[in-house]
Amino acid sequence: MRCRICGSPRLRLVKQGAGQGELRSDDFAITDARYGQTLPIYACDACGFLQCPDVEGLLRYYEGLQDPDYEKGRPQRTLQARMLLGRMLSIAGDSGQGKTLLDVGAGSGILVQAAREMGFDALGVEPSRWLQGIAASAEIPVICGTIDDLPGDALFDAIMAVDVVEHVDDPMGLLRACVSRLRPGGLLAVVTPDRGSVVARLMGWRWWHYRIAHVNYFNRVTLDMALRGAGLTPIQYTRPGWRFPLDYLLQRLGAYIPPRFIPVPGFARRITVPLNLLDSLMAVAMRRES
């Protein structure tokens, strides 16, 4: 085993976890609330990166993934998508009009739809047949597959990879594939949980981003190292907030507080709660010309 970021063989087990033989596609649900349950996590003694190298064939779990609860938060996820796109545009100093955009791990096409409404010529790729089917039924252009399934000549002005890089068994390969799809001067926006955040350190292994679906755990240093190693120049790091239905948040509190103490009124689904615990990183980086 070698570190997925720096290539060092100096990996040591820091957290026991579930074995691969126990896994199903359900374990990789976007809305999975079994916080603290992970695959075995190893730390790289050279760069500090945390990773789960014992799992193989991750893609097949995502191809069979179904997550009905994900769609219940579509209005809130649309607000998040617009916010993330707006941040990228503010850095680019441009509008989305006429620009091409690729969303990697597009789910049911929420960000693609938001981008098209903002003037982008946007396309998504998504391995889950179920999620891609939802996008297709709404006539949102999302291809079933990965970035490697795009036509060889497909290039983009901007690429979004929102909460994706922590899910793949080859994060450097994914970042390099994104770089190969960027036009000169193109921007890549990567959003991922930050294990170095104050909240993550306070929560320890009970932090909500320690989940089976997450097999890479970045902090600012290792994310910067990965981006630069893939041929990118980071321009700006920010900490994006999120939008959730109130009932979603109350239900997730059940991972820490006995559910009988958390009433979930019927109207809670109609209430949107903005939340920023400063435990995610958004990096916007530019393709570096050789």
Domains of the chain: 11-287 (3.40.50.150)
In the prediction, which pLDDT does 290 show? 64
In the prediction, which pLDDT does 261 show? 76
Closest C-alpha to 156, from 120, 116, 183, 129? 183
In the prediction, which pLDDT does 160 show? 98
**pTM as predicted:** 0.95
Q: What is the pLDDT along the chain (290 residues), one digit of tens a residue?
A: 899 999 999 999 999 998 888 799 999 999 999 999 999 999 999 999 999 998 889 999 999 999 999 999 999 999 999 999 999 999 888 888 999 999 999 999 999 999 999 999 999 999 999 999 999 999 999 999 999 999 999 999 999 999 999 999 999 999 999 999 999 999 999 999 999 999 999 999 999 999 999 999 999 999 999 999 999 999 999 999 999 999 888 888 888 888 777 888 888 888 999 999 999 999 999 998 86
Residue 231 burial (CB < 10 Å; 0-12/13-18/19+)? middle
CB within 8 A of 256, min separation 6: which ones? 35, 206
In the prediction, which pLDDT does 254 show? 84
Query: Would you list the DSSP string of 138-162?
Result: TT--EEES-GGGS-TT--EEEEEEE
CB within 8 A of 289, min separation 6: which ones? 184
Phi, psi for residue 41 in degrees, rounded to 5? -110, 130
Q: Give the CA radius of gyration of the chain.
A: 18
In the prediction, which pLDDT does 94 show? 83
Residue 267 is encoded by which pair of tokens? Answer: 């109207």
